[in-house]
Amino acid sequence: MNIVDCIIIGGGPAGMEAANRLTDQGFQVLLFEKEPELGGKLRQWDKLFPDFTLAQDILKMLNDNIASNKLEIKTGNTIRELRQSTDEGNSKEWEVIDGNGESHRARTVLITTGFDFFDATRKEEYGYGIYPNVITSVELEEQLKNGKIEIASNSKNDPNIAFIQCVGSRDEKVGNHYCSRNCCICAVKQAIEVKELLPQSEVTCYYMDLRMFGQSYEELYRKAQQEFRVNFIRGRVSEISPTLENRVILKAEDTLLSRPIRATVDLVVLMVGMEPSETTAQLSKSLNMSDPYGYIASKNSYTADNETQHKGLFVAGTAKRQLAIPDVIRDADAAAFTIAKHLKNGK
């Protein structure tokens, strides 16, 4: 049986980038993707923060590299099992059982199974799935891609649009204590885009803290306030209820003014957080390398962040924690470097 150098599970940006970097160096790579197409969640996005780069441009670069490289890709294939090879004397090898029940062997495996969006129905108080004018940031991005924002209410006035931060992040009630890191800046980006499409609309963003840590994030946040007149209110929304005109009323507390507030709005955008994808959670559990939330814990987040506690098994991207596209691509590069070193030393 053919034993490849590296099997990569997950064909999102991390998996694609690592596959390219490894084949560049002459390693034989097999890439699995459960969807019919490569690209992962990047395919659902229109523009990227903080500089409005088109997601499809990044995707095209990754795809072009894939096309020019010689590597085997299996799309539409959800793997069933990942395990250390049971053959005696070959315990260093890894075995992947794919969706068709076929076995594939590799000297190393890279997990790039990524994240999933938080299921907003778990926060029923926001009325997602109950009121038509409550949508998620993912659905808004889809609308932005089409260049048209759908407002379900019958109101004839200029629309009021509210963004709600931290839906499924920093929320101990749903069991996610962590910050998803991308939603703050993503809401700023989307708010600006909404204002560009609907200049007459009133856009308000309800937040707990705004975490503008990345390069150019703070500048974009300032621009949203000064140039686009986006309102930012510190306060978590407690509940949303319907009105007769198909609008919704949201109740919150302005925690800077210590005052309860109510706002009638036409569209609510829930900034859904990140959670480990099903496959990520499955693999982290079955191989006993899960962090408290089901992400894959790396061996050492300072010095061995692409390694796991299992020899020959590597991890990159949002299967580990919440990262943005640039971080993911850099992390995939680092993973490819680490894997190459492992493969060379192993010979």
Query: Where on the chain is the footprint of another protein (CB under 8 A)?
Result: 119, 121-122, 124-125, 127, 130-131, 172-175, 238-242
Q: How many CA within 13 A on the CB side of residue 158?
A: 9
Residue number with CB closer to another protein (123 or 342): 123
Residue number with CB closer to another protein (115 or 131): 131
Q: Is the peptide bond before 50 cis (omega within 30 degrees of 0)?
A: yes
Q: Report in angstroms how near the CB of residue 173 gets to another protein at its nearest.
A: 6
Ordered strands of the 134-136 beta sheet: 134-136, 267-272, 160-167, 202-207, 231-234
Residue number with CB closer to another protein (110 or 240): 240
Q: Report in angstroms how near the CB of residue 123 gets to another protein at its nearest.
A: 9
Q: Report in angstroms how near the CB of residue 35 gets to another protein at its nearest.
A: 21
Task: Outline where the chain has alpha helix (H).
Answer: 13-24, 55-68, 137-146, 183-197, 217-226, 278-286, 325-346
Residues 6+ apart with CB under 8 A from 54: 46, 47, 48
C-alpha 52/C-alpha 145 separation (Å) is: 12
DSSP letter at 295 equals P
State both tokens at 184.
């703050």
Instruction: Please state, in angstroms and as integers, the Cα–Cα distance from residue 16 to each residue in 27, 94, 109, 264, 287, following that order.
Output: 14, 20, 14, 44, 23
3-state SS assignment for residue 5: strand
Residue number with CB closer to another protein (78 or 243): 243
**CB-CB contact of 62 with 56 (8 Å):** no
Q: Report in angstroms how near the CB of residue 307 gets to another protein at its nearest.
A: 29
Q: Report in angstroms how near the CB of residue 281 gets to another protein at its nearest.
A: 10
Q: Report in angstroms how near the CB of residue 118 gets to another protein at its nearest.
A: 10
Residue number with CB closer to another protein (57 or 124): 124
Residue number with CB closer to another protein (125 or 219): 125
